[in-house]
Structure 1
Amino acid sequence: MQHFPTNRQAFFLLSALLLIFVEAAFFGNGSVFLILLGIGTLYYALRNTSKYRRSYFWIGAFLIGVSILSMWSLRLMIFGLAIYLLLRLWKGQAWLQTTPLQGSADTGLIQNKVMAAQSTPIESYEWKDIHVQGFIGDILVDTTHTVLPKKPSLISIRQGFGKVQVIVPYEVPVRVFYSTLLGEARFFNGDSQRILNTTIHAEDGYPADEGNRAELIVSVTTWMGDVEVIRR
């Protein structure tokens, strides 16, 4: 079964919360309460296993649909989005530009940013442990372009919303710790699995040779975001 991408789920959730805030703060529209009631009904339907689950779901969807159609903030957002798209098309700009960062002793391979799509350099680089925090954006860490030291190396990522992808070489043992409220995980070219408010652990390449050896430990924590750790 194909899941709806977590990034899009996060986008729609944040958009809905923004609309509710704008409508309540500036327009005083009573439909906000219908939206909250509809969201509560949908949540109850998704968590309930009774035979009335489908009925609760459609009631919640109906309440949300009716209230959204009467929201002035939604109309203004659609108008603003149309203007934004026209300006971007006029300027011919790319929708998303991911700029690889050249690591240094001061900044590290990836920086803490509120909203950004980041990746490690696309050419060979010197390895440094990664400790990064962000709010919205995708992060790509490709360790096949570097030489990991003969000791445990750490990738620690704390992200609000967005996808985290880590590419590791075949000969390096890897441990992965992934914690999220809602997301999808895919480890070592296996099948994807949906994660709901839990922490999972996976490892590959063990037992390794005794003595000094390269080892990679990946720790990822998100609110809503997908994680993919693959070998290449």
Structure 2
Amino acid sequence: MKNRWRAFLFIEAVLVLWLIYQITTHLFILGMIILGLFIFFSVQSSKKENKTPYYLISLFLILFSLFSLTSFWVFLIVNGVWLLSEGKSHLKKMDNRLFKHAPWNKKDMIVVDTVEKMPKNGKKIKYEWLGNTKIGDQVYEWDDINLSVLAGDTIIDLGNTFLPKSENFVVLRKGFGKTRILVPTGTGILLEHHTLNGKVIFEGETISLSNETLKIYSKDYDESTRKLKIITSVFLGDLEVISV
């Protein structure tokens, strides 16, 4: 691997020397590049308010000169071939090192262990009145959801739980903000939604409501063994129900 890098760097050095040679032996090309650099640095130190046209002229003169040289084209082709053959693996390794904990790399397959349903004792769950709320960012045992939110965006993710083969409920009362509910594919959905003003996005369809109540079923509701009833009341805000 080191030998390949050495060979590549040697070729790059040769091409750079060839490029410098062609620039210095073509007086017209050399003059164009010097003129472009002169305009660039002159404008940079000036007090002109709109410098963009001068920068564009400078860039045009330099690029026009370089693209007129054979050595520059060969330089670009060699680098392009190298990036296609070797660059992908190095970029992937760099991405794994630098962005190991980035959101797009956190794609783990999670298997939810299931047990026999057990009797439930009374419990109390605290939700915030204000601010963004997210339910289901970790694996959890399913229980019907019933919450009230004054203002903020709300995300309810049912992908990290296991819905029983029965009727399940999500009840939400909300003042202001957007709401997104993620439902596992194959679950029959009944949505009852009321809002003073907002939109509902359900199975690819967008429905606008103005002080109206909407009751809608998913296409596979009757055939599904697992059913989810979503009952929401929002003063102002959009609701999106997505199958995942």
Q: TM-score, with normalisation over the residues of structure 2? A: 0.48
- Larger relative contact order, structure 1 or 2 (CA cutoff 8 Å, min sep 6): 1
Q: TM-score, with normalisation over the residues of structure 1? A: 0.50
Greater gyration radius = 2
